[in-house]
Chains A and B, each alone.
Chain A
Amino acid sequence: MSQPRLSALLSTALAGLLLASALIAAAGLGDTPRQMHFDARLTPPNLDFWFGTDALGRDVAARTLAGLTLSFWVGSLAALFGTLIALGMALTAMLGPRWDALVSLVIDTLLSVPHLLLLLMIAFALGGGTHAVIIAVALSHWPSLARVLRAELLHLRQAPYVQISQALGKSRGFIVRHHWIPQVLPHCLVGALLLFPHAVLHEAALSFLGVGLSAEQPAIGVLLGESMRHVSGGDWWLGVFPGAGLLLMVLCIQRLGETLRRAWAAR
């Protein structure tokens, strides 16, 4: 095995391992993220509390892990729904030139509002909370993927082997099953994985701004929002660790997505 391939494989395995271990560790936390230790408020990192404690004496390490899991699930759901919407829209665009123009107009409209502002408005309209964040992220992230899928489908319709298949009298169902799905499904999967980091970062940003997940939930954005109040006191551990955890998770997912994309591109 060549050296770049080996290092890519190793880093992918490491990324997967890190993600899995974070999720497993968070599953075993129980009530620790909400437990308060009033004798140990705002303590810097030490052997008992690796990432220190917050103003209510809660363990920042446990809260970070819980927050990462929350981000992971919210991101997964949002990426899944976003991909489904993108696929649906791309298929709608195939129905005819009018539908195509309509889908293009919707895409252009959504892309011309700044991304975060669109998220903010959707979350606002839905009244905030977990479901609002998931819906907002899903509703605002599909346009770029839909564009890719639409181009792919347009290309497929013109492809010689599909036209031959049609000329040979194969049914619509046969063409969809044997030609469309094998070609479009990988795009969807890779698209979903590449959508994930954006979804996670935007979820954290929304929660940080105060319109996302509710303040009682230990989400990364909420943790960082809380830590802003302690910045001028120099309590660095409150913000540094949760943010670093989020960065690491996004990097891991990026790595996995990239590897998957390359594996498919090589095929």
Chain B
Amino acid sequence: MPVICPLCVRLLRMALVLLCVAGLTFGLMLASPIDPIDAYLGPQIAQASTEQREMIAARWGFDQPPLVQFGHWLGQLASGEMGWSHVYNQPVSEVIAQRFQRSLALLGLAWLLSTLLGFALGVLAGVRDQSPLDRIINSYAYITAATPAFWLAMLGLLLFSVTLGWTPVCCAGPSGSLSDDLGLATRLHHLALPVATLTLLSTAPITLHTRARMRELMASPVATQAFAQGAGRWEVAWRHGARHACLPAITLACASLGELFGGVMLIEQVFAYPGLGRATVEAALRSDVPLLMAIALFTALLVSLGNATADGLYRLIDPRLRRQG
């Protein structure tokens, strides 16, 4: 029981938060200047008479109070019906499924690489406080935290794609080819630069956090004891430090999915990579309300799962928290 109950509470809380996200999204879209009937009519807007508009409003429930509309929407969502995306002319669920598949490669690779790189850099920097290595890594972390993601992506594009011609200029594959018959090498070739940019930009928080943890440990009695027994700095750093710092690093990585998705939106825009991030921007620019709402909920679910995993990992690995329940 003591292990299951916090999980129940956690799941209930997550459901509540997601319901709030749905409410927030719905409220924002209701407040937006987009008229749902105009959006539905599209180019035929000039031909519709007032009576026809009223019929459409009654048919789709736009004449109902907002709370009833919200209830309808939630009911439809629960049965898996997310609506029709007019930008992509496809059901929203299909758009998200297709695009997320492509973004997943970008997101997953960048997430994995930035976690590993950030952790390694943090450990290296924390081994010896104020060493030249520490200073270099520290400045790197501060500068990348201040760099606009889309600017760095553009610099990469200018240097590697336009000037040197090493990487493709855009998209997830050569133009005109279907995404199904692309080889792994082609896919990776198109992913290389976006993943590298995203990785470089996402390492800073984990690096700084791990560095702080390492400094803490290197000044602690544990380290002093180990030094007294004749252990070297690197040995202490590896044996005690890396273990001490790896859990917070993983937790931070799980909790950083939201920030990473923001990066994906910008990077996909620069590289014209047809993933979920680009779909989000298109949906906002071209007022595709059903798609935008569904993406908001979907990414909120993703971020919540990341946060819950971070929390769960802590409980699973740290026995002190488990005992507290």
Residues of A within 8 A of B (CB): 105-106, 108-117, 120-127, 197, 201, 204-205, 208-211, 220, 224, 227-228, 231-232, 234, 236, 239-240, 243, 246-247, 250-251, 254
Asked if B151 and A115 sit within 8 Å, CB to CB, the answer is no
Asked if B158 and A234 sit within 8 Å, CB to CB, the answer is yes
Contacts A124-B28, A125-B28, A254-B146 hold; do A247 and B303 have CB atoms under 8 A apart?
A: no
Neighbouring B residues of A236 by C-beta, 8 Å: 158
Neighbouring A residues of B285 by C-beta, 8 Å: 209-211
Asked if A251 and B146 sit within 8 Å, CB to CB, the answer is yes
- B113 CB–A CB distance under 8 Å: no
Can you report 29 residue pairs joining A to B where beta carbons are below 8 Å apart?
Answer: A109-B17, A109-B21, A112-B304, A113-B24, A113-B303, A114-B259, A114-B261, A115-B262, A116-B261, A117-B265, A120-B265, A120-B281, A121-B25, A121-B292, A124-B28, A127-B33, A197-B146, A201-B148, A208-B148, A208-B269, A209-B265, A209-B269, A211-B284, A224-B148, A224-B154, A232-B162, A243-B148, A243-B155, A251-B143
Instruction: Return the chain B residue nearest A119 by Cβ.
Output: B262
- B105 CB–A CB distance under 8 Å: no
Neighbouring B residues of A250 by C-beta, 8 Å: 146
Asked if B262 and A114 sit within 8 Å, CB to CB, the answer is yes
Instruction: Return the chain B residue nearest A113 by Cβ.
Output: B300
| Interface residues of B, dominant DSSP | helix
Q: Nearest chain B CB to A131's CB is how many angstroms away?
A: 14
Task: Give which listed residue, B31, B143, B162, B280, contacts A117 with CB less than 8 A.
Answer: B280
Q: Nearest chain B CB to A172's CB is how many angstroms away?
A: 32
Neighbouring B residues of A220 by C-beta, 8 Å: 148
Taken together as a complex, chains A and B put the C-alpha atoms of A236 and B151 apart, in Å, by 12
Taken together as a complex, chains A and B put the C-alpha atoms of A250 and B285 apart, in Å, by 27
Asked if B16 and A105 sit within 8 Å, CB to CB, the answer is yes
Per-residue interface assignment for chain B, residues 20 to 43, with 1 indicating a CB less than 8 Å from any chain A CB and 0 otherwise: 110011001101110000000000
Asked if B296 and A121 sit within 8 Å, CB to CB, the answer is yes
Taken together as a complex, chains A and B put the C-alpha atoms of A123 and B292 apart, in Å, by 13
In this complex, the member of A108, A127, A204 whose beta carbon has the largest number of chain B beta carbons within 10 angstroms is A108
Neighbouring A residues of B24 by C-beta, 8 Å: 109-110, 113
Residues of B within 8 A of A (CB): 13, 16-18, 20-21, 24-25, 28-29, 31-33, 142-143, 145-151, 154-155, 157-158, 162-163, 169, 257-259, 261-262, 265-266, 269-270, 280-281, 284-285, 287, 292, 295-296, 299-300, 303-304, 307
Asked if B148 and A247 sit within 8 Å, CB to CB, the answer is yes
Asked if B258 and A234 sit within 8 Å, CB to CB, the answer is no
Instruction: Return the chain B residue nearest A258 by Cβ.
Output: B142
Neighbouring A residues of B21 by C-beta, 8 Å: 109, 112-113
Asked if A246 and B258 sit within 8 Å, CB to CB, the answer is no
Neighbouring B residues of A113 by C-beta, 8 Å: 21, 24, 258, 296, 299-300, 303
Neighbouring A residues of B266 by C-beta, 8 Å: 116, 205, 208-209
Q: Nearest chain A CB to B221's CB is how many angstroms away?
A: 24
Task: Give which listed residue, B150, B155, B163, B307, contacts A112 with CB less than 8 A.
Answer: B307
Instruction: Return the chain A residue nearest B142 by Cβ.
Output: A254
Taken together as a complex, chains A and B put the C-alpha atoms of A10 and B208 apart, in Å, by 24
Neighbouring B residues of A227 by C-beta, 8 Å: 154
Asked if A122 and B262 sit within 8 Å, CB to CB, the answer is no
Taken together as a complex, chains A and B put the C-alpha atoms of A247 and B154 apart, in Å, by 14
Neighbouring A residues of B280 by C-beta, 8 Å: 117, 120
Neighbouring B residues of A205 by C-beta, 8 Å: 148-150, 262, 266
Q: Nearest chain A CB to B205's CB is how many angstroms away?
A: 12
Taken together as a complex, chains A and B put the C-alpha atoms of A127 and B155 apart, in Å, by 31
Q: Nearest chain B CB to A121's CB is how many angstroms away?
A: 5
Q: Nearest chain A CB to B321's CB is how many angstroms away?
A: 19
Asked if B20 and A105 sit within 8 Å, CB to CB, the answer is yes
Known pairs A113-B300, A120-B265, A126-B31. 18 more at Cβ < 8 A?
Answer: A108-B13, A109-B21, A110-B24, A112-B300, A113-B299, A113-B303, A116-B261, A120-B281, A121-B296, A123-B284, A124-B287, A197-B145, A236-B158, A246-B151, A247-B146, A247-B148, A250-B146, A254-B146
Neighbouring A residues of B158 by C-beta, 8 Å: 231, 234, 236, 239-240
Contacts A201-B148, A209-B269 hold; do A124 and B261 have CB atoms under 8 A apart?
A: no
Instruction: Return the chain B residue nearest A240 by Cβ.
Output: B155
Asked if A109 and B284 sit within 8 Å, CB to CB, the answer is no
Neighbouring A residues of B300 by C-beta, 8 Å: 112-114
Neighbouring B residues of A116 by C-beta, 8 Å: 261-262, 265-266
Taken together as a complex, chains A and B put the C-alpha atoms of A210 and B282 apart, in Å, by 10
Neighbouring B residues of A211 by C-beta, 8 Å: 281, 284-285
Neighbouring B residues of A114 by C-beta, 8 Å: 257-259, 261-262, 265, 299-300, 303
Contacts A121-B28, A234-B158 hold; do A239 and B261 have CB atoms under 8 A apart?
A: no
In this complex, the member of B21, B158, B280 whose beta carbon has the largest number of chain A beta carbons within 10 angstroms is B158
Task: Give which listed residue, A112, A122, A125, A239, contacts B151 with CB less than 8 A.
Answer: A239
In this complex, the member of B146, B259, B280, B285 whose beta carbon has the largest number of chain A beta carbons within 10 angstroms is B146
Task: Give which listed residue, B262, B270, B296, contacts A228 with CB less than 8 A.
Answer: B270
Instruction: Return the chain B residue nearest A205 by Cβ.
Output: B266
Neighbouring B residues of A109 by C-beta, 8 Å: 17, 20-21, 24
Q: Nearest chain B CB to A216's CB is how many angstroms away?
A: 17
